[in-house]
Amino acid sequence: MHGSARVSKKVTCTALLLFIVVIIYCLINLSSRIQTNPFTGDIDDDEKIKNYAEISLPFNSLRNLTTYVRIYRDIRKKLKSNKNQFTTKFEQDTFPWLNDKPMLDFVGKNMSRGIVVCMSDKYMNVGLPALLSLNDLGSQLPIEIMYYGENDLSIKNRRKLSKVPNVVEITDLSTKFINVSLRSWAAKPFAILASIFQHVILIDSDVYFFQLPEKLFDDHDYVKENIMLFTDRSLEKDTARTKWVNSILPPPFSKSFNESRMVRGLARDEIEAGVVVMNKGNDDIFLGLLVICVLNVPPYCIYPYVHGDKETFWLGMEMIQKTFYVNPITGVIGDVVNDIVCGQIAHGNRNKRLLWWNGGLFQDKFSRPFLLNFTYYSWEPTDQYFSWKASCLYVNKTEYRKLDEHERNLIRKYKETMQNVCRKMAAEGESCLPSLKTK
């Protein structure tokens, strides 16, 4: 009796042990399966990723591209810096110009801050004085100059630019990305991407500041969102464009998107990209920047629908559902002509003080090479649209503001600096006047 009880106990024990072993084996197997499963999205995403292998690329629409960019974003977040079959393939298909280089190569030096500007021979006359003005202002930010290939910026001009105070790097974009042509507008987002800085202020070559550009990095909305954009003039309505912008992206939409003037049909333009501030060290901003680049080159380039690169900056962020800050203080700076302020487009801070303006020191960079008389500025009224006629802003006279002494002194310095550049250029047989036909 004792013997058979012992045997049955032994059998139970063995069975239990076997059971435990089987359970452990199953668990290990399952977890390794989870780890080796290339598609770690939700079940819904799994289906979509399986479909991805069968889609003939490029996607037939921005909507479809956006759906997959969002799946890619989610999987990337789960995998951290690891990759799987889907993310590897998606990156090669969507960002082919990266040429499989590690993303970390493009994030910039940790915590670094600087100014990035695209330059070419044809903008030297406007761009060189504008860069020198940063020194007049007392900016300490390092500057990186970008150009695209040997024919874009001559060795002579590169040498000149290398002598501008705070210029630390002159970079040929054509050596950074493959199989993509980056002339004109498209160079701008790629210049941010290629920059050695983590926190970047991208400026057009004819942008001038009234306040230290480094202050932009301390703006609490920049610190919160890691991106700062500026509002464009509200010139006129464009129903075709409003229809387009309301159809290209899948929902849900952000508050900023919903409230934008282009989406609401209140204006043709949204963003003035003369100055763009971005922190590439933020993962969402970095991905958004890659998507912005995508919108500037074939096959997904949106230039047929909007004017140049400027709208790509917010639409790219909206595509990956990254919230963004758009500074709303936009207006005009110049002189009073026939009772209205006419001149260049200007931007202010939240105290409505002048921050920067676009278009250089001349009255009209396209046709009139006379120095602009910088005496007044005024801001576009909020929620009142189409107050512009050409380069003049029609607002109540009570809204005109006079430049203060400090601002007028800056203008004086900037004009002197430009005239010095002009004299040197004239001695070399070149003209510093803006050419009548620029982009």
Ligand X SMILES: *[C@@H]1O[C@H](CO)[C@@H](O)[C@H](O)[C@H]1NC(C)=O
**Cβ 223 to ligand X shortest distance, Å:** 15
- Give residues 63-102 in contact with ligand X (rule: CB under 6 A): 64, 67, 96, 99
Q: How far is the CB of 401 from ligand X (least distance, A)?
A: 13
Question: Contact between 179 and ligand X (CB under 6 A)?
Answer: yes
Six token digits for residue 332: 């005009």
Taking the CA atoms of residue 116, residue 121, residue 123 and residue 129 in that order, the dihedral angle to the nearest 10 degrees is: 70
Residues 6+ apart with CB under 8 A from 270: 231, 232, 260, 261, 262, 310, 311, 314, 326
**By CB under 6 A, residue 255 contacts ligand X:** yes
For ligand X, give the closer residue by CB, 67 or 135: 67
Q: Residue 265, interface with ligand X (CB under 6 A)?
A: no
For position 337 contacting ligand X by CB under 6 A, the verdict is no
The burial class, CB within 10 Å (0-12 / 13-18 / 19+), for 421 is buried
Nearer to ligand X, 123 or 414 (CB): 414
Interface with ligand X, residue 351, by CB under 6 A: no
Instruction: Determine which residue in the list 253, 385, 386, 394 makes contact with ligand X, applying CB under 6 A.
Output: 253
Rounded-to-integer distance, Cα 288 and Cα 193, Å: 11
Asked if 37 is part of the footprint of ligand X (rule: CB under 6 A), the reply reads no
Q: How far apart are CA 227 and CA 238, in angstroms?
A: 27
Q: Can you tell me whether residue 54 is helix, strand or coil? A: coil
Name the one range near ligand X by CB under 6 A: 55-63, 121-129, 313-321, 343-351. Answer: 55-63
Minimum CB distance to ligand X smaller for 175 or for 258? 258
Binding mask 129-168 for ligand X (x = CB under 6 A): ----------------------------------------
- Distance (Å, rounded) from C-alpha 362 to C-alpha 431? 14
The binder of ligand X chosen from 32, 51, 162, 175 (CB under 6 A) = 51
The residue from 12, 82, 258, 367 that contacts ligand X (CB under 6 A) is 258
Smaller CB separation from ligand X, 55 or 436: 55
Least gap, CB of 48 to ligand X (angstroms): 7
Q: How many residues does the chain have?
A: 439
Instruction: Give the Cα separation of 205 and 128 in Å (integer).
Output: 8
Q: At what angle do helices 62-79 and 43-52 cross, to 10 degrees?
A: 120
Sign of the CA dihedral with 354 first, then 356, 362, and 364 last: negative
Size of the site for ligand X (CB under 6 A): 22
Q: Are 87 and 392 in contact (CB under 8 A)?
A: no
* Binding residues for ligand X (CB under 6 A): 51, 55, 60-61, 64, 67, 96, 99, 110-111, 178-179, 253-255, 258, 335-336, 373, 375, 396, 398
